[in-house]
């Protein structure tokens, strides 16, 4: 009986490791530095806004279906906020959804928080944005989710790509 159990454990282990080697999903890491308000000129007036990595809109996340993304958000601003991954289902991962005071407390000034974003069946262009008071008007960016390595688009492959955020 002991030998059979040992063989079963060995076989299950080999099966598990073989499955890991066949996976094509990647892991991506991003750092978002959310800075204090900067001057933004529009119609000759100036307004203070919060930006990510000194850009408005913030950085684009470009991944493939099935990938996992870790985003370390450094709050260098004056107010607490969260980041919501709009349209991402987050299976078995609800505590990283970024809904302020629902799935997490705000990231306080001078601290950081690392989000784990699990992309399961999503494909196409989604977006991420702050989910706190007025920061949701300036802290945002695109999530471009390409087909997995062994897949094609569910529509004719585009000739070119252009990300537009309205």
Tokens standing for residue 25: 């999903």
Which residue's structure tokens are 């390409």?
Answer: 146
Question: Does a structural domain hold residue 151?
Answer: no
Domain that holds residue 86: 27-146
Question: Does a structural domain hold residue 110?
Answer: yes
pLDDT at 20: 41
Question: Does a structural domain hold residue 16?
Answer: no
Look at the chain and report how many structural domains it folds into: 1
40: pLDDT strictly greater than 50: yes
Of 118, 135, 152, the C-alpha closest to 78 is 135
52 in Cβ contact with 110 (< 8 Å) = no
Question: Does a structural domain hold residue 69?
Answer: yes
| pLDDT tens figures, 87-129 | 998 888 888 888 888 889 999 999 999 999 999 889 889 999 9
Q: Positive or negative, the Cα torsion across 56, 59, 65, 66?
A: negative
* Average pLDDT, integer, range 14-29: 61
> DSSP secondary structure string, 39-107?
EEEETTEEEEEEEETTBSS-PPEEEETT-EEEEEEEEESSS-B-EEEET---TT-GGGS--BTTTB--B
CATH at residue 76: 2.60.40.420
Question: Does a structural domain hold residue 120?
Answer: yes
Cα–Cα separations (whole angstroms), residue 153 to 124, 148, 150, 164: 9, 9, 10, 19
Question: Does a structural domain hold residue 137?
Answer: yes
- pLDDT tier for residue 139 given thresholds of 50, 70 and 90: very high
| pLDDT tens figures, 62-86 | 999 999 999 999 999 888 999 999 9
- How many whole angstroms separate alpha carbon 25 and alpha carbon 84? 22
43: pLDDT strictly greater than 70: no
pLDDT at 22: 40
Classified as helix, coil or strand, 24 is: coil
Question: Does a structural domain hold residue 156?
Answer: no
Tokens standing for residue 165: 């955020």
Question: Does a structural domain hold residue 140?
Answer: yes
């Amino acid at each position: 009986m002991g030998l059979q159990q040992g063989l079963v454990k060995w076989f299950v282990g080999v099966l598990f490791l073989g499955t890991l080697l066949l996976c094509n999903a990647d892991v991506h890491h991003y750092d978002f530095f959310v800075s204090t308000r900067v001057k933004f000129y529009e119609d000759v007036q100036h307004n203070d806004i919060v930006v990510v990595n000194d850009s408005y809109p913030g950085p684009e996340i470009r991944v493939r279906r099935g990938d996992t993304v870790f985003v370390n958000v450094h709050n260098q601003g004056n107010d607490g906020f969260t980041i919501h991954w709009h349209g991402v289902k987050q299976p078995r991962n609800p505590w990283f959804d970024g809904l302020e005071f629902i799935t997490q407390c705000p990231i306080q000034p001078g601290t950081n928080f690392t989000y784990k974003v699990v992309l399961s069946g999503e494909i196409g262009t989604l977006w991420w944005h702050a989910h706190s008071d007025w920061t949701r008007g300036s802290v945002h960016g695109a999530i471009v989710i390409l087909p997995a390595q062994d897949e094609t688009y569910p529509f004719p492959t585009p000739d070119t790509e252009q990300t537009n955020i309205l």
